[in-house]
Amino acid sequence: MRLRSAAKLLSLVILSVGLITMFIFLTRAQSPRQKEKPKGPWMDKSLSPDKRADLVIGQMTLDEKISLLHGGGWKELLGGPDTLPTRSLGGAGFIPGIPRLGIPDLQMSDAAVGVARGAVFGRYATALPSGVSEASSWDLQVARDYGALIGSELRDLGFNMSLGGGINLTREPRNGRIFEYKGEDPILAGKMVGAEVKAEQEQGVIGDIKHYALNDQESGRTFANVKIDTRAMRESDLLAFEIGVKESGVGAVMCSYNLLNGDYACENKYLLTDVLKKDFGFQGFVVSDWGATHSTTKAALAGLDMEMPGNEHFGDALKKAVENGEVLMSRLDDMLHRILRTEFAVGLFDNPPGRKVPDIFAGFRVAQRVAEQGTVLLKNANGQLPLQALSIKTIAVIGSHADIAVLSGGGSAQVDPPGGNAVPTPSGTAPFFGGVVWFPSSPLKTIRAKALNAKVEYNAGTDPASAAGLAKGSDVAIVFVNQPASEGGDAPNLSLPENQDQLVSAVAAANPHTIVVLETGGPVTMPWIDSVSAVLEAWYPGIKGADAIANILFGDVNPSAKLPLTFAKSEVDLPHPMLTMQPPPGPGDMRPFFPDAPSKENSRRFDIVYDEGLKVGYKWYDAEGKEPLFPFGYGLSYTTYAYSALKVTPGQAPAVTFTVKNTGARGGAEVAQVYVALPQADGEPFKRLVAWEKVQLAPGEAKTVALTLDPHYLSIFTADKSAWELVPGDYKVLVGGSSRETPLMGTFRVKGGR
């Protein structure tokens, strides 16, 4: 009896200790403001975010106002846990809130392809496939899943603001950050980022779209001056932002490092106020890229609302500028209004993030689905793929650490791999942020798991002759090749680095059944293309990359992705055959982490003249009559599709219907694309993508696709009127499965005289 009650007592003690520990853990894990129940009329949820923002601003002192407009320095990024301000969670940025008013801390994390930089804090987050892979799906549901996952993991880890959503167009295909972005077309990129960020914000975290604008290469990014004319930028890069901002209701836009037509982007009135805030109707706030603020009054009056990560210009200097009347209190209140109305609208006050371990398996599922939907089949001669899992006897897997890993993109988008870098010795061209990072996802294992009757052997591919030796005696050779890329630098050219072209050629010479799997951040050239039988572009495929690749190689998933950017045959065909980079790179080229590096940039300034204008990507190839290696919108499937019965009905928003039929023996999804060529008077000798739909089709099935064309996407931007215009005349409609394969053609006329 006594023993029983002693045991009972003991379990009670254990339970209480457990509960107390859990209580301490949970309360410590939350920032102080979450413990205090915020009071004040602005906590009334029935009021509009604008009203609530005004009410709370009305209670703030000047010092409190200034404190919300800048970060505390570079510590968040450079230091480890010990160097952080008390409440910072160690994301890329932190702005302390104001507990007396219930204003939450702003905890920002980079999150372009998942929540970044967790390792030093012992945090796990899903490493998603790169943004360019997401864009290759052309699937708004994929974009929503991508954004929702990032949003929910940010919350789980305690963050309430994302620094993701990169959307700079692939104007310069050597750009080191293409992997973070969504390709070369403004409508595709804008819609994908719009869907992603909307879903992210629905999780209760502030989203961000960046880098505004025309930061289309990394070389000289902090001091290069981009020159481009108004119409060209409005119809290309800025159109992507316009669509993204409008479709998502995004809370933050990050202005970029570079100058645009003579002014730094973060103090460029045309960009920030005239276009973003007035024309696009953006109600959120403009946050500077890290170290991209260069002035106080000029920046504040141009439309910058928040300096990050430091306080050089928007700390005491801004207070002084307000006190001496250079910046009016009304503008200061506008900055705060934009930040606080966003915090209310997204739910930061009412529904602050909790803290828990992210659902790893949910993350895996999204990561794998995105990779499967985003991997592009570029070549498949004689039905080489899919491989017959059970009849195949020998497979050579070659190169790119495919025995243990898949490649990651680097820089601020880096999601740390669980368990550390899968290839611990930095290999390959070291991108700026450190060595090349690999995720523990082994294609060798997933291939072995499919080909149960086969002998699957691995060769590192470092010696082409030995790799060819293994390939020679195998039924098929699967060569993995890679191109590392990172923020902070561009690729010197479009070639695969480290003799990988020679490797592919040697293997292909030894085995007629050579399949190449590319893990690249952007387009590369393929001098060996005619000698291999199949090519898959897997991009940086994320933590479940190996599973996705094997599912496609063996036909468990029928590829449906299409290229969101053009692959050139050679650099000679690019608008700028040489990367614009004068003077040669030096320390000032780097991200301004290092206090003594970039402020002395002026002497190094150079122009990047975008005289190709709005002819970005496929528009350039069309206008110049050049043949790409693989065109925009292109991607194969294991089945085939036929297009028929195009009907175009003119009107305010012209309607297009057509039929797509699956003419093969496998179910699949076709991304049916609608392009429009404008009347000649518009001076645009190329077509534009204006609509698309991804159609799921069983074998033999046909579906009618009905799409309405948004008149905005058919319009041109008339600079002297500063307005979009739908020009009267004949419009040609082209429909098909890629920008260079449009079997259906129709026309509609827009009436009126000009």
Q: Which of 709, 706, 705, 688 is nearest to 696 (CA)?
A: 705
Angle formed by the axes of helices 140-156 and 186-202, to 10°?
A: 40
CA dihedral (307, 309, 314, 319) positive or negative: positive
Q: Which of 561, 222, 542 is nearest to 409 (CA)?
A: 542
Host H or E run for residue 677: strand 668-677
From residue 454 to residue 493, the character string flagging contacts with ligand BGC as x (rule: CB under 6 A) and all else as - is ---------------------------------x------
Helices of type H across 58-176: 62-67, 75-78, 131-136, 140-156
Cis preceding linkage at 213, omega within 30: yes
Q: Residue 182 interacts with ligand BGC (CB under 6 A)?
A: no
Q: Which of 531, 527, 539, 525 is nearest to 507 (CA)?
A: 531
From residue 240 to residue 279, the character string flagging contacts with ligand BGC as x (rule: CB under 6 A) and all else as - is ----------------------------------------
Query: Please, what is the minimum distance in Å from the beta carbon of residue 176 to ligand BGC?
Result: 11
Query: Please, what is the minimum distance in Å from the beta carbon of residue 210 to ligand BGC?
Result: 6
From residue 63 to residue 102, the character string flagging contacts with ligand BGC as x (rule: CB under 6 A) and all else as - is --------------x--------------x----------
Number of shown-chain residues binding ligand BGC (CB under 6 A)? 11
Neighbour-count burial for 542-571, b at 16+ CB within 10 Å, e otherwise: bbbbbbbbbbbbbbebbbbbbbbbbbbbeb
The rounded distance, in Å, linking the Cα atoms of 569 and 588 is 32
* Structure-block tokens of residue 240: 């992507």
Q: Residue 126 interacts with ligand BGC (CB under 6 A)?
A: no
The rounded distance, in Å, linking the Cα atoms of 691 and 218 is 31
Nearer to ligand BGC, 196 or 612 (CB): 196
Nearer to ligand BGC, 263 or 289 (CB): 289
Host H or E run for residue 623: helix 618-624
> Which amino acid, one-letter code, is at 406?
V
Instruction: By CB under 6 A, name the one of 412, 637, 662, 738 that touches ligand BGC.
Output: 412
Q: Residue 289 interacts with ligand BGC (CB under 6 A)?
A: yes
| Residue from 185, 289, 416, 573 carrying the catalytic annotation | 289
From residue 487 to residue 506, the character string flagging contacts with ligand BGC as x (rule: CB under 6 A) and all else as - is x-------------------
Q: Residue 210 interacts with ligand BGC (CB under 6 A)?
A: yes
Query: In the Cβ-directed half-sphere of 732, how many Cα atoms lie within 13 Å?
Result: 15
Is residue 611 part of the annotated active site? The answer reads: no
Nearer to ligand BGC, 208 or 501 (CB): 208
Query: Please, what is the minimum distance in Å from the beta carbon of residue 223 to ligand BGC?
Result: 14
Nearer to ligand BGC, 101 or 161 (CB): 161
Question: Cβ distance 70 to 314 under 8 Å?
Answer: yes
Interface of this chain with ligand BGC, residues 356 to 395, rule: CB under 6 A: none
Nearer to ligand BGC, 181 or 632 (CB): 181
Nearer to ligand BGC, 110 or 573 (CB): 110
Query: Please, what is the minimum distance in Å from the beta carbon of residue 225 to ligand BGC?
Result: 18
Nearer to ligand BGC, 144 or 591 (CB): 591
Angle at 20 between CA 16 and CA 22, to 5 degrees: 115
Nearer to ligand BGC, 52 or 591 (CB): 591
Query: Please, what is the minimum distance in Å from the beta carbon of residue 104 to ligand BGC?
Result: 20
| Pairing, β 606-609 against β 723-725 | unpaired
Query: Please, what is the minimum distance in Å from the beta carbon of residue 385 to ligand BGC?
Result: 36
| The residue to which tokens 């009896």 are assigned | 1
Nearer to ligand BGC, 588 or 613 (CB): 588
The rounded distance, in Å, linking the Cα atoms of 283 and 342 is 8
Question: Cβ distance 273 to 306 under 8 Å?
Answer: no
Instruction: By CB under 6 A, name the one of 105, 110, 145, 573 that touches ligand BGC.
Output: 110
Q: Residue 290 interacts with ligand BGC (CB under 6 A)?
A: yes
* Structure-block tokens of residue 90: 């160690």
Q: Which of 289, 116, 113 is nearest to 210 (CA)?
A: 289
Nearer to ligand BGC, 163 or 228 (CB): 163
Helices (H) and strands (E) in the chain, counts: 21, 27
Q: Residue 661 interacts with ligand BGC (CB under 6 A)?
A: no
From residue 144 to residue 163, the character string flagging contacts with ligand BGC as x (rule: CB under 6 A) and all else as - is -------------------x
Q: Residue 638 interacts with ligand BGC (CB under 6 A)?
A: no
> Residue 735: helix, strand or coil by DSSP?
strand
Query: Please, what is the minimum distance in Å from the beta carbon of residue 410 to ligand BGC?
Result: 12
Query: Please, what is the minimum distance in Å from the beta carbon of residue 498 to ligand BGC?
Result: 27
Neighbour-count burial for 136-162, b at 16+ CB within 10 Å, e otherwise: bbbbbebbbbbbbbbbbbbbbbbbbbb
How many of the other CB atoms lie within 10 Å of CB of 675? 24
Q: Residue 591 interacts with ligand BGC (CB under 6 A)?
A: yes
| The residue to which tokens 């880096």 are assigned | 414
Q: Residue 288 interacts with ligand BGC (CB under 6 A)?
A: no
| Catalytic machinery residues | 289
Which chain residues interact with ligand BGC by CB under 6 A?
77, 92, 110, 163, 210-211, 289-290, 412, 487, 591
